[in-house]
């Protein structure tokens, strides 16, 4: 899947989560520890996915400790 950059359009704010988006990926930099995503926006794909198992979050960024 082609990675898209949305840095100019979406600003990350760790104090605000995206309402209605649940995430269990605890090693993502945008995960707030409460199954919530705090990325400014998300990108999910690929466009040709035929089921949920074929999709990925292209916004994922590994958390640095």
What's the whole-model pTM score? 0.71
Nearest to 60 by CA among 34, 35, 33, 26: 26
For residue 18, the model assigns a pLDDT of 87
* Domain of 65, in residue numbers: 1-65
For residue 31, the model assigns a pLDDT of 92
CB atoms under 10 Å from CB of 61, counted, come to 13
How many domains does the chain contain in total?
1
- Tell me if 18 sits within 8 A of 35, measured CB to CB: no
Q: Is pLDDT of 10 > 50?
A: yes
């Amino acid at each position: 899947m082609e990675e898209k950059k949305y840095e100019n359009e979406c600003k990350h704010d760790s104090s605000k989560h995206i309402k209605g988006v649940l995430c269990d990926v605890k090693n993502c930099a945008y995960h707030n520890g409460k199954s919530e995503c705090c990325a400014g926006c998300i990108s999910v794909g690929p466009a040709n996915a035929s089921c949920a198992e074929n999709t990925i979050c292209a916004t994922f960024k590994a958390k640095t400790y």
